[in-house]
Structure 1
C-alpha cells in the first residue's frame, strides 16, 4: 500500500526554504533498534535510517502533520508546517542530541519514522509518525509493542510521551503501558518489564530526558478543544508579543505574522480559519506545561 500524496503542492518549496539548513543527518543505529532490521510482521519492518533517507525523514515529518492543518489556506498551512518542522528539530537537538532515527517500512515502502534514544538506564521512544495513508491500521501500536520488547530484552523500561487528546484508557491498555506522569497536554508512559530483571537506574542529570519530553516544544501548534489553553499555551489569535520577553519564540517566528520585528511580533492568527477542526493553541512557554503528578 502506498501513501497518498500531500494535497499541498506548495509545501516542499516553502519548507525547504525554511528548514533545509536545520535538517539533521540521520544517526546510525548502534544503540537503537537492532541491526539487521527489526521485522514486526504484517509487512512492517523498522530499519536504521541512513544518509539516503534524509529527504524521507523530512517528508514523513512534514506530511505526517499536514492533515492537522487541512482547511487552512495552502500557503498558510505550508508556512506553519515548515516552522513546526524547524521548531521540532531545534527541540530535539537541545534535548536528545544522540537520538537515533529509523524508517518504518510497509512492504518495503517508507511509511513512517521512529526516533529512539538508549541510555544506560532507559530506552526512550522520542517520536513516532506515520504518513496519512498508513494510519488507522494498527501499525503504530505494533511498532511500539515491538520496541517495548526490544527494550525489555536489554533489561530496560520503555518510556515515551503522548498527547492527552490521543491516548484513551483502552489504547493505553492495548499498548501495555502505564501512566507515570501527567502534564497539562501530555502523558508520560512507561512499559513495565515483565519477567525480566530491570537494571538499577543511574543518577540522572539536572535536565533529564524525562523532564524534557513531557513538555511540548517551543512554538508547537496543536488543536485544542478542552476549554481554556493549558499553562504555557496561548490561543493562535494573532496576539502581539514582546521580542524581549519571548526572544526564542521570535527567533522562530520572526515577524512573518505581523509586528515590527524589532520590539514586537505576532503569533499566527488562526481563529475562524479552520472550520474542520476548530481552535489552535501555540506553546509560548512550554516549561509551564510540566505540571507533573
Structure 2
C-alpha cells in the first residue's frame, strides 16, 4: 500500500465543529435503533461530557487534526506528560477508514518513543488488532477496557 502521507496540525478553537463531527461519526453506530431526532442531541451531550472528562483526566494532552492532501479526515489526542506518552484517542471519519491513515499516525507516534500506552474497549477487536500490529500488548483489563502498552517488560 502506498504511503498516504497523513499530516497533523494542532486543533484550534475553529476546529470545534470538526471535532464534534468526528466524535459523532465514531459513535453513531452505538445508537442504531434510536429515532434520528434523538441521536444528535444525545451525541452532542456526550461530546461535551467526553471533552470535559478528557481535559480533566489528561491536562497535558494535545489534540491534532489529521489531514490527507490538506483535507481534514480525523483527530488524534496524545498525552505527553513527564516522558510518558499515552494515546488518548484516535478517530478517522468513516469515508476515510481502511486506507491506513490511523496506522500511519500510530506508527509515527510509536517511532522514537520508548513506551506508549493506550486504553481501548475490550470488544473493539479491530482496534486491538491495529494496536497489536504496532507492537502494543495487553497489560491489564478492567471494567470492559484493556490497557495496552509498547515495550512491555517480560
| 1:218-233 alignment, distance < 5 Å | none
The equivalent position to 2:134 in structure 1, one of 175, 180, 186, is 175
Q: Which has the higher contact order (CA 8 A, sep 6+)?
A: 2
| Equivalent residue in structure 1 for 2:120, among 162, 166, 176 | 162
- Match of 2:125, SS state, is coil
The count of residues paired between Structure 1 and Structure 2 equals: 149
Once the two structures are superposed, residues 158-203 of structure 1 have per-residue CA deviations (whole angstroms, 9 ceiling, x without a partner) of: 111111111367444312111112113111111118xxxxxxxxxx
Match of 1:91 in 2: 53
TM-score, reference length from structure 2: 0.84
What corresponds to 2:19 in structure 1?
A: 57
Give the distance between the partners of 1:84 and 1:135, measured in 2 at CA. Answer: 23
Answer yes or no: is the 8 Å Cα contact 2:64–2:75 preserved in 1.
yes
- Normalised to the residue count of structure 1, the TM-score between the two structures is 0.47
State which structure, 1 or 2, has the greater radius of gyration over its C-alpha atoms. 1
| Higher relative strand content | 2
CA–CA distance in structure 2, aligned partners of residues 135 and 170 of structure 1: 15
Counterpart among 94, 101, 119 of residue 139 in structure 1 = 101
Give the counterpart of 1:102 among 47, 54, 64: 64
**Aligned counterparts of 1:58 and 1:133: Cα–Cα separation in 2:** 16
RMSD, aligned α-carbons: 2.1
What per-residue deviation string (whole Å, max 9, x for no partner) do you get for residues 107-155 of structure 1? 21111000111112311111111111112233222211211114x2xxx
* Conserved? CA contact 1:44–1:107, under 8 Å: yes
- What SS does the corresponding residue of 2:56 show, helix, strand or coil? helix
Q: Which runs of 5+ in 1 are unaligned?
A: 1-40, 194-293
Unmatched 5+ stretches in structure 2: none
